[in-house]
Amino acid sequence: MGVSLTIFTPADNTDLVMNTLQKVTQSNLACCSDILPALPLYKRAPREDEHGRPLSDFMMIIPKLRERPEHLIEETVSKIERVLNRFTHAVVFADLNLKLNVLWVIVRPEAKVSWRLPAAINNAVPDALLVAQPAF
């Protein structure tokens, strides 16, 4: 079972996303062919696995990603894709929103995946910042 990496973009980057989607589709990841969301993300993303167990998620911000040249955006997407492919046993859903510069990943709640996967993404894409609540 492959990971579904959905990529959304502002209207002015449509050609870029189509090229990126074609490249992603050629890899191991299954990819959504839609560029614009039909439903809000909370309605498209799974909340439970196939056995009814709850899933975990995390969000990362990649500042100014959409403002970068096309080749750098494609390179960033490829890096994220390679990391996700290393964690296919745990990743259930991934959504990269170029309009918001946000990567949202839903994973199976396995030991250490919740911190190893974001760390691996940050290692591959140093600009990617984990969204977290500060400790008080």
| pTM of the full structure | 0.73
Specify the CATH number for the domain of residue 62.
Answer: 3.30.70.100
Q: What is the pLDDT of residue 26?
A: 36
Residue 71 is predicted with a pLDDT of: 93
Average pLDDT in the 50-63 region? 92
Cβ atoms of 59 and 103 within 8 Å: the answer is: yes
Q: How many domains would you assign to the chain?
A: 1
Percent of the chain at pLDDT > 70 equals 68
Residue span of the structural domain in which 114 resides? 5-130
Q: What is the pLDDT of residue 19?
A: 38
Express each pLDDT in 106-131 by its tens digit: 999 888 888 899 999 999 999 999 99
Question: Is 136 part of any domain?
Answer: no
